[in-house]
Structure 1
Amino acid sequence: MSLSEIRTRIEDACQNAQRDPASVSLIAVSKVQPNDRVRAVLEQGHTLYGENKVQEAQGKWPDFRTDFPDAQVHLIGPLQSNKVRPAMELFDAIHTVDREKLARRIADMAQQLGRCPDLFIQVNTGEEPQKAGILPAETDAFVETVRAMDLTVAGLMCIPPVEETPSLHFALLAKLAARNGVEGLSMGMSADFEQAIAFGATHVRVGSAIFGERDYG
């Protein structure tokens, strides 16, 4: 598959959902991808990328942004409290705010830096013990806690359990977002982004379908 094919599928999904394609941002997940593949997609004019690890992103995006100053990078992997400063200096959005200690650290650093990336709260919609994220029943209170720190909640994010129907989780996340007056919905990946768009996704995360299969060796 290719970037253009993914864009076409997003446009078709938006048409089916009677949505403006401009309301959906495609995050090209560039984690663990060779730099030449990432550069090739940058050269096609795509500007929004997703990375899982602060250190990996630090190793490539400052150089890429020299050549592609319009590029934006979102952190879509877990964030450790001791990596908050470099994350906030590098990323345009953080999709994985999932605990009060982390939110507090972000709030303190925002005061120091005078800026803050867009923040998405990760919700563990499947209530999986091995997965990060606020439980659905705790989401309302956590949104309120984060806002009380003078932080803006740009959106909610989820990663549905692989063995369950993703649309149930997309519907739950959309309900939680609407109830809390949150506009952004970061949900949907290569296998299910069209379903996510039908449920209101504003950010979909697609990697190997754009870049090719990752080599973790």
Structure 2
Amino acid sequence: MSDAASRLAEVETNIAEAARRAGRKAGDVCLIAVSKTHDADAIRPLIAAGQRHFGENRVQEAAAKWPALRGEAPDVTLHLIGQLQSNKAEEAVALFDAIHSVDRSSLVQALAKACDKLGKRPQLFVQVNIGDEEQKGGCAVADLAALLAEAKAAGLAIDGLMAIPPADVEPAPYFALLDELAERHGLPLRSMGMSGDYEKAVMLGATHVRVGTALFGARD
């Protein structure tokens, strides 16, 4: 077994065990391999091991490497998990199957225009600034209902919520809050949990976990 296959198997086992403890099915959780900053040669072993969902932070970086990789593996699903500038909305809609960082009115309008123009509807998550941190993107909890209403009025279907808890604190209360917010607004998907806390996120309702280091190893 290759190193990539071994790491993937370990993460999948951990997800399955966390799901079992929570009375859930492992198949209810989508594992997104965070491939940002990794080149095609680092990504191919995970594709060969069976991984099919990948996450990128920047439109430009993804555009440089994924068209060729998707030529080799056309069934890959590509997720944008980083902040998105409104002027990149059309390029993002063309390239990505899911966008996890919808967080403001101007982006809602840009995405709606891009979706209508391209006739494509990627899966969309509203990013919530769950810890009310000034340095982070995301919609304030207090503004979530209004942003969801604006998206609906613009013809955008929002499928779920995404959040990144504050660093160096216990993430469980933040995961629980995101799960509660998604439930309150009738949204089925929760994108939460990374390499250090994805098992806890799964136990608290995550449907999508974004794992980089545990799959690729530490970045330089």
Same fold? TM cut 0.5: yes
Provide the residue aligned with 2:3 in structure 1: none
Contact 1:98 1:123 in 2 (8 A): yes
CA distance in 2, matches of 1:41, 1:89: 24
Is 1:99–2:92 an aligned residue pair? Answer: no
CA distance in 2, matches of 1:168, 1:193: 14
- What is the correspondence of 1:1-217 to structure 2 with a 5 Å cutoff? 2-215=7-220
Q: For structure 1, which runs of at least 5 residues remain unmatched after alignment? A: none
Q: For structure 2, which runs of at least 5 residues remain unmatched after alignment? A: 1-5
Q: Which amino acid aligns with 2:109?
A: R
CA offsets 1:101-159 (integer angstroms, 9 cap, x no match):
00000001111111121110000010001111011111122111111111111110000
State the TM-score, normalized to the length of structure 1.
0.97
CA distance in 2, matches of 1:164, 1:141: 29
CA distance in 2, matches of 1:196, 1:145: 28
Contact 1:28 1:206 in 2 (8 A): yes
CA offsets 1:14-69 (integer angstroms, 9 cap, x no match):
11011011110000000001321100101111100000000100011100011101
CA distance in 1, matches of 2:76, 2:219: 21
- SS of match in other structure, 1:171: helix
CA distance in 1, matches of 2:200, 2:149: 29
Identity %: 48
Runs (4+) off by over 6 Å: none
Contact 2:39 2:65 in 1 (8 A): no
Contact 1:26 1:203 in 2 (8 A): yes
CA distance in 2, matches of 1:29, 1:200: 20
CA distance in 1, matches of 2:155, 2:94: 19
CA distance in 1, matches of 2:40, 2:216: 10
Q: Which amino acid aligns with 1:28?
A: A
Aligned length: 215
